[in-house]
């Protein structure tokens, strides 16, 4: 066999290995009910939950617990998923900047003892370019 064929076969084998290793680490988008079911089944893989923050009648976000003087790496909040189930989420990192301005939140993590423990938080904030008129000079 030629050396070029051997190199090509090795490159293909490495490519297949990379694809297989990354496909096993992907997580799925679920609601809190499905995340709790995965915990009961013993599946400890990370999942994504998309939701919104609960607001009172005035429009202020409710259920935020963050006291950086007591523990700067503990942030707790309530999140309502797309099936309108509200769940306590704990994030063991500092509160993300502009968290209160977010329209939608994606938490990546897993359920643990009836609480969703987030490893990452992704926020969709309102665009600063929406509803603004562009004025010429």
25-47 pLDDT, tens per residue?
Answer: 557 899 999 999 999 998 888 99
Range of the domain at 42: 27-124
Residues contacting 102, CB < 8 A, separation 6+: 53, 123, 124, 125
Tell me if 131 is assigned to some domain: no
pLDDT of residue 130: 58
pLDDT of residue 26: 56
pLDDT of residue 59: 86
Angstrom distance (rounded) from CA 84 to CA 74: 25
Nearest Cα to Cα of residue 75 among 88, 87, 85, 84: 88
Tell me if 2 is assigned to some domain: no
Angstrom distance (rounded) from CA 34 to CA 50: 12
Tell me if 129 is assigned to some domain: no
pLDDT < 70: residue spans in the chain = 1, 18, 20-26, 127-137
Q: How many domains does the chain have?
A: 1
Tell me if 7 is assigned to some domain: no
pLDDT of residue 10: 80
The CATH number given to whatever domain includes residue 81 is 2.40.50.140
pLDDT of residue 75: 97
Whole-prediction pTM value?
A: 0.72
Instruction: For residue 35, count CB atoms less than 10 angstroms from its CB and return exposed for 0-12, middle for 13-18, buried for 19 or more.
Output: buried
Tell me if 97 is assigned to some domain: yes
pLDDT of residue 89: 97
């Amino acid at each position: 066999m030629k050396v070029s064929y051997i190199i090509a076969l090795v490159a293909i084998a490495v490519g297949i290995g990379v694809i297989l290793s990354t496909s096993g680490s992907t997580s799925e988008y679920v609601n809190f009910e499905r995340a709790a079911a995965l915990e009961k089944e013993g599946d400890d893989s990370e999942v994504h939950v998309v939701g919104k923050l609960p607001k009172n009648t005035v429009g202020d976000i409710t259920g935020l617990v963050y006291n950086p003087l007591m523990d700067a790496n503990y942030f707790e909040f309530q999140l309502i998923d797309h099936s309108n189930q509200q769940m306590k989420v704990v994030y063991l990192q500092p509160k993300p900047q502009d968290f209160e301005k977010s329209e939608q939140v994606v938490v990546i993590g897993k359920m643990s003892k009836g609480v969703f423990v987030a490893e990452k938080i992704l926020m969709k904030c309102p665009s600063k370019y929406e509803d603004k008129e562009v004025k010429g000079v």
